[in-house]
Amino acid sequence: MTSATPLLPEITSDQIKQLTSSQCLAQPLPAPILSACFKQSPEDFQVDELLEVGLSGEGEHLWLLIKKTAMNTSFVADQLAKWAKIPSRDVGYSGLKDRHAVTTQWFSLRLPKGKLPDISFDEFAKAHLTADTESIEVRQQTWHSKKLNRGTHKANRFVIRLTDIELNPKVAAAPATVDETLTLISKEGVPNYFGEQRFGRQGNNIVSALEWFEQGTINGRPPHPKKSRDAQSLLLSSARSAIFNQIVSARVQLGGWNTAIDGDVFNLDGSGSVFCVEQIDQEIHQRLASGDIHPTAPLWGIKNDKVSEAAKALEDKVVSQDAVLQRLAQGLEKKQLKTMRRATRLAVSDFSWSWTTEQADKPSLVLQFTLPTGTFATSVLSALVTHLK
């Protein structure tokens, strides 16, 4: 898609919902749970960052492993900067964690003189709590020679509790039927969709992306070249995510989200490496079945030249048949982003689950699993539950 087309009419809320709601994305099998409550309390959603870095115990960067409840990453980073009286740029972290959760993650602080404040961070932070649900605790601290940079950790461990579960009578007559789906997910994974949170409240990031692409403004104002970099990056990511999700959804409907299509580009599991093959042979099929490699779909941009044949035709068809996707694709191309590839399948590692019977008629389900960074726990939940409340 390189030819320019006239500006299309304004989009509707229904069009945005169709592109951003997880309920509108195809799933390989009907969800066995019709509805369930999710995140009724922070303890219902627990995330532990899995960081594999050998910390030296020496250097000018203080690394802290912090467990926090009902606090997002940015807030804690700001509090750390105030506590240590250092610029925000000298506080490092690997990934952003949800506020409505209990999360454990590493932070680093550059302290060239190696001197800590007189008051502990636990005491300082507790004095700034704004709600009874909030809590914070330093679990571990050590010195290291380098700052903690974004994307350093490779995986997250989740513990998720679903309550008030109502089974889908058309699919699951009893929790044992849900177990069958969970077993299948543990073996085959789920479609690697971006979660709804990527698109903002009511999909507003997509509307803002179109405004920026077509009018040069964000929320009615020209973006500042430096101060709005994070906002621009988010909008680019949201636009790419919407296109990616729709292409994956189309592959799910065709039964090709975890199998090969002619012209596919493949991803080596656990890496960012992608490759093409001249012919899809038995070895490729075997590697796909074992989870060693995965098919990919595009994070849209220019130079989408690796994909070919039926796979390329499918990707182009999905975009060309949706007016909003056309506009997003054209905007991304004008920004000169180079196409990247992302696996269409999300492998779920170390997956286990257990049922509790706090309510005899509506049992609770606790899920535990590990996912690589950049993927979404809600992708697992969407394959299991039709409506999350």
State the DSSP string of 91-131: EEES----SSSEEEEEEEEE-TT-PPPSS-HHHHHHTT--S
Copy the structure tokens of residue 187. Answer: 């073996």
Burial of 104 (0-12, 13-18, 19+ CB in 10 A): buried
Using an 8 Å Cβ cutoff, are 299 and 240 in contact?
Answer: yes
Whether 98 sits among the annotated catalytic residues: the reply is: yes
Inter-CA distances, 69 with 66, 130, 299, Å? 10, 12, 33
Burial of 293 (0-12, 13-18, 19+ CB in 10 A): buried
105 Cβ contact partners less than 8 Å away, ≥ 6 residues apart: 47, 48, 49, 65, 66, 73, 93, 94, 95, 97, 153
Catalytic residue among 14, 90, 98, 262: 98
> Which DSSP letter does residue 88 get?
G
Name the packing angle between helices 13-20 and 229-254 (round to 10°).
Answer: 70
User: Which amino acid, 83?
Assistant: W
Q: What is the chain's percent helix, strand, coil content, to nearest 5?
A: 35, 25, 40
Which residues carry out catalysis?
A: 98
